[in-house]
Chain A
Amino acid sequence: MSVSDTIGKGNSASQESAGPLKVWDLPTRLMHWVLVASIAICWWTGLHNQLEYHLYSGYVALWIVLMRLYWGVVGSSTARFSNFVRGPKAMLDYARTLHRRDTPHVHGHNALGAISVLLMLGMVLAVVVLGLFAVDVDGLYSGPLSTYVSFHDGRHLAHLHYRVFNYLLVVIALHLLAVVFYYVHKRHNLVFPMISGHRKAVADIQDEMQVAPLWRFLAGAVVVSAFVWAVTTSFYF
C-alpha cells in the first residue's frame, strides 16, 4: 500500500490499536538526534567564535549526512528514499488532506515530510561543504579544504556558509512547526517514535519495517569515517 493510497481511507480511530509497531530503526534514530545535537553545537560555537569545536561538530554533521544518504539507499525500509520520496501528485494529494484529522498515520515519512527530509539533508550538506572551504581570518580554524581556495574566496565562502545556515534555521523551524501541528491538530506524536522506534498502530503486516542488518551500517560507517578523516587532513596524506 503506497502512502497516497492510505490517505483519506478509513479513520485513524478505527485503524489504530494499542499495539506497538516498529517504525524507525536504531541507526536512523541515532543519526537524527546526533544531527540535532551537532547542529545545535555548530550554531552555538559559531555565534561565540569557538571555531575549534565548531569544526569538530561540523565533521560530525558531515558524517551524519553522508551516513544518512547511504542509509537512505541500503538501510531499513522506512529510512529508504525509494519508500518515501514521492512525485508531485502524491505530495499534492497528501497536502489536500493535511487539514483533516481522520487521516491515518503514515508509516515512516509522509509525502510532505519527504520534502523536509531532502531539503534538510541538502541544506546541511551545503552548509558543511561551504564550511569546509571557509577561511578563518585568524588562521586558526579554517575549513580543511580552504587550502584549495584563495583568502578572498575563502572569506566569501565563510559568509555564504553563515547565510545558508540561517536559511537552514528557517527550514528547521518549519520542521518543528510541522511536528507541533501533527501533535496538536492530528493527535500524531512524531517525537516519541523517533526516540523509542515504535508507534501505536494497527498490526498490519505490510506496515512492518524491514530492518536492515547492523553490519551494513557498520560497513558504511567505516567507509564514511575514512572519507571524513581524509577531508580533515585536507587530502594531504
Chain B
Amino acid sequence: MLSVSGLCRLAGAALVFSLSMSVIVEAAPPQSGLIKSRQDKLRDMGGALKAIDDELKKGSPDWDNVILPNIDTLQGRSGYLLTWFPKGSGPESGVKTYALPGIWLKGDDFTKLGKAMQVEVAKLKPVAASRNAGALKEESFTVGKTCKACHDSYRSPDYEKENDD
C-alpha cells in the first residue's frame, strides 16, 4: 500500500506528465490533423481504384460487392477533394506534406484538374451499370489519368522516394 508521501509523489508525477502532454498537444501544428486526414482520404481513393482494376482483371468480376462499393468510395471522396486543400495546409504548415505550393499559386489550374477528375469519376457508375468490364476498365484508366495529371504538377517528386504510404 502506498504511503501519504508516496501518493504525493505519484500525484506530482501525474501533474508533470499531464502538463507536458498539454504542451505537446498545443505544440502540434494546427493543420496536422487536416493534412493527415487528406492523405488518408487520398490513400482510400488509390485503394478503391486499385480494387476496381484488380477485380476487372478477373474472368467474372464481383460487381455488387467489390466494384460498386469502391466506385462509391471514389465518388464520395472526390466530391470533397477540392476542399481538402485550404490555404496554409501546404509545406508552410510545418507538417510533412508532398503537396506543392503550386496548388495555391495556380489555384485555377488545380481546381480545373480536380473538377476534371470529378467529371470522370461520375461516369464510373453509369458505365458499371452496363456490366461491361472492358468499358469500365477504360473509364477507370481515364480516372487514373486525371489523378496523374494533378500528381505530376502538384505533388512533390519526393513522394516516390520516401515510404510514407
Co-assembled chains A and B: yes
- Mark each residue of chain B from 133 to 165: 1 if its CB lies under 8 Å from any CB of chain A, else 0: 000000011011101100110000000111101
Is B36 in the interface zone, CB < 8 Å from A? no
Contact between A139 and B144, CB atoms less than 8 A apart:
yes
> Interface size (B, Cβ < 8 Å)?
26
What B residues does A146 contact at CB under 8 A? 50, 54
Chain B, interface SS category: helix
A-B contact count (CB 8 A): 67
| Cα A142 to Cα B147 with chains together (Å) | 14
Is A154 in the interface zone, CB < 8 Å from B? yes
> Interface size (A, Cβ < 8 Å)?
22
What A residues does B87 contact at CB under 8 A? none
Is A222 in the interface zone, CB < 8 Å from B? no
Contact between B147 and A139, CB atoms less than 8 A apart:
yes
Find the B residue at minimum CB distance from A159: B163
Is B46 in the interface zone, CB < 8 Å from A? yes
Of the residues A137, A155, A158, A159, contact of B151 by C-beta under 8 Å:
A137
Of the residues B53, B160, B163, B165, contact of A139 by C-beta under 8 Å:
B53
| Minimum C-beta distance from A142 to chain B (A) | 7
Contact between B141 and A151, CB atoms less than 8 A apart:
no
| Minimum C-beta distance from B53 to chain A (A) | 5
| Cα A154 to Cα B152 with chains together (Å) | 20
| Minimum C-beta distance from A215 to chain B (A) | 36
Contact between B148 and A140, CB atoms less than 8 A apart:
yes
| Cα A142 to Cα B54 with chains together (Å) | 10
Of the residues B140, B151, B165, contact of A156 by C-beta under 8 Å:
B165
Find the A residue at minimum CB distance from B159: A137
- Mark each residue of chain A from 137 to 167: 1 if its CB lies under 8 Å from any CB of chain B, else 0: 1111010001100111011101110100000
Contact between A138 and B163, CB atoms less than 8 A apart:
no
Contact between A151 and B163, CB atoms less than 8 A apart:
no
What A residues does B46 contact at CB under 8 A? 135, 137-139, 151, 155
Q: Given contacts A137-B46, A146-B50, A234-B57, is CB(A155)–CB(B148) below 8 Å?
A: no
Is B43 in the interface zone, CB < 8 Å from A? yes
| Minimum C-beta distance from A43 to chain B (A) | 13
Is A192 in the interface zone, CB < 8 Å from B? no
Find the A residue at minimum CB distance from B149: A138
| Cα A215 to Cα B49 with chains together (Å) | 45
- Mark each residue of chain B from 97 to 119: 1 if its CB lies under 8 Å from any CB of chain A, else 0: 00000000000000000000000
Of the residues A49, A147, A155, contact of B152 by C-beta under 8 Å:
A49
| Cα A136 to Cα B159 with chains together (Å) | 12
What B residues does A162 contact at CB under 8 A? 160-161
Is B6 in the interface zone, CB < 8 Å from A? no
12 extra A-B contacts, CB within 8 A, seeds A138-B144, A139-B49: A137-B165, A138-B145, A139-B52, A139-B53, A139-B147, A146-B50, A146-B54, A147-B54, A147-B57, A152-B43, A152-B165, A156-B163
Name A residues whose Cβ lies closer than 8 Å to a Cβ of B. 49, 135-140, 142, 146-147, 150-152, 154-156, 158-160, 162, 234, 236
What are 11 A-B interface contacts by the 8 Å CB criterion?
Answer: A135-B50, A137-B151, A139-B49, A139-B53, A142-B50, A146-B50, A147-B53, A152-B43, A152-B47, A155-B46, A236-B58
